[in-house]
């Protein structure tokens, strides 16, 4: 079992900016990053940056490579090739480990500990621990500090795991489907806590999720992965602005010729009505109603188009991805 308190040690330096870091240093930078399990690549040719201070949704179908990417950043896995930097450092360094908190899908807390004992261990292992914040999150869920972790429901365990992560006051918070076993009210409350954490401390959040419709007003950055490769990375508003949803009448086989100059992400036909999500490369000819897609419409279209050419906004590009663009 992974150490649930994977939070650095007393001797780790405080999670402040290192000498090698400046205003521009991204929270995460992947270059040629890949991870293979036996003969299968879980993640491949990954080149992107996540600027500091963003709340980033990490989206992709089951088995796309999201957990693999988060585990590499949390130093729970070794890359097979390429490299990943956390605020400019390898995830292996004590400085990185002290700045990162990870809440995985399995939330491997110690079942024999009480909640209070878990928080105490978090306090003893993490310099800069914020006991009030961790306790507040636990109490908001009406969880007794004296309850044994093994007796908690799945959602309550998630809350305790999040309290441990928030208590650490990390600079990078990695969350693997944190909301999947929480009821809608608790999701709302945890989301608000996340947003206030970011506003108060400039924390960067990278959060894998399938709850796309709920992320619309929460995340300002997006990374999508399909088939182990990054397809979209950048500011949500810039990515949405680079796409157009077209609706119009179309008869006949195949795509309308007016769409040929553009990158067509996906199309949907009902009778003679065609809906197409495109990346326009200039004015679109023909009689089409134009809309900016919602985040959900965009993501569903990309999930249906696993082989589409990647789109990275300038802030998400590394030197390598700029060369490829």
Distance in Å, CB of 38 to ligand ATP, minimum: 7
- Dist. CA 309–CA 62, nearest whole Å: 20
Pick between residue 64 and residue 143 the one whose CB is nearest to ligand ATP.
64
Between the alpha carbon of residue 117 and those of residues 113, 127, 133, 143, 156, the distances in Å are 6, 17, 16, 14, 16
Q: Is residue 60 at the binding interface for ligand ATP, with CB under 6 A as the rule?
A: yes
Q: Is residue 63 at the binding interface for ligand ATP, with CB under 6 A as the rule?
A: yes
Q: Is residue 178 at the binding interface for ligand ATP, with CB under 6 A as the rule?
A: no
Beginning with the edge strand found earlier in the chain, give each strand of the sheet holding 28-37 in spatial order: 40-50, 28-37, 81-86
Distance in Å, CB of 302 to ligand ATP, minimum: 14
Whole-angstrom distance between the N-terminal and C-terminal Cα of the chain?
41
Q: How many C-beta atoms lie closer than 10 Å to residue 3's C-beta? A: 11
- Stretch of 58-66, 121-129, 153-161, 260-268 contacting ligand ATP, by CB under 6 A: 58-66
Distance in Å, CB of 80 to ligand ATP, minimum: 12
What single DSSP character describes residue 309?
P
Q: Is residue 68 at the binding interface for ligand ATP, with CB under 6 A as the rule?
A: yes
Q: Which of 42, 81, 27, 6 is nearest to 206 (CA)?
A: 27
Could you tell me how many residues of this chain bind ligand ATP (CB under 6 A)? 10
Q: Is residue 226 at the binding interface for ligand ATP, with CB under 6 A as the rule?
A: no
Pick between residue 88 and residue 104 the one whose CB is nearest to ligand ATP.
104
Strand partners, 55: 205
Q: Is residue 67 at the binding interface for ligand ATP, with CB under 6 A as the rule?
A: yes
Q: Which of 262, 234, 204 is nearest to 322 (CA)?
A: 234
The binder of ligand ATP chosen from 5, 42, 50, 245 (CB under 6 A): 42
Residues in contact with ligand ATP by CB under 6 A are 37, 42, 60, 62-68
């Amino acid at each position: 079992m992974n150490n649930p308190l994977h939070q650095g040690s007393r001797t780790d330096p405080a999670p402040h900016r290192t000498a090698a870091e400046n205003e521009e240093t991204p929270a995460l930078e992947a270059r040629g990053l890949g991870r293979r399990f036996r003969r299968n690549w879980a993640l491949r040719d990954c080149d992107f940056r996540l600027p500091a201070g963003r709340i980033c949704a990490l989206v992709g179908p089951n088995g796309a490579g999201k957990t693999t990417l988060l585990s590499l950043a949390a130093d729970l896995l070794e890359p097979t090739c390429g490299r990943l930097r956390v605020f400019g450092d390898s995830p292996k360094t004590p400085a990185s480990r002290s700045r990162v908190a990870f809440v995985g899908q399995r939330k491997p807390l110690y079942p024999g500990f009480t909640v209070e004992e878990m928080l105490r261990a978090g306090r003893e292992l993490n310099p800069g621990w914020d006991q009030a914040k961790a306790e507040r999150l636990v109490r908001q869920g009406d969880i007794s500090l004296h309850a044994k972790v093994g007796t908690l429901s799945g959602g309550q365990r998630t809350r305790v795991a999040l309290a441990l992560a928030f208590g650490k006051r990390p600079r990078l918070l990695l969350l693997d489907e944190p909301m999947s076993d929480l009821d809608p009210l608790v999701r709302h409350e945890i989301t608000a806590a996340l947003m206030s954490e970011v506003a108060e401390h400039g924390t960067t959040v990278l959060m894998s999720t399938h709850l796309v419709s709920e992320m619309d007003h929460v995340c300002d950055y997006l990374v999508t992965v399909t088939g182990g490769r990054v397809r979209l990375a950048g500011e949500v508003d810039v990515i949405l602005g680079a796409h157009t949803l077209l609706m119009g009448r179309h008869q006949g086989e195949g795509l309308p010729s007016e769409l040929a100059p553009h990158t067509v992400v996906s199309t949907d036909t009902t009778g003679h009505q065609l809906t197409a999500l495109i990346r326009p490369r200039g004015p679109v000819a023909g009689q089409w109603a134009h809309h900016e897609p919602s985040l959900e419409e965009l993501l569903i279209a990309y999930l249906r188009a696993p082989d589409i050419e990647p789109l990275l906004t300038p802030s998400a590009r590394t030197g390598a991805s700029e060369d490829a663009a």
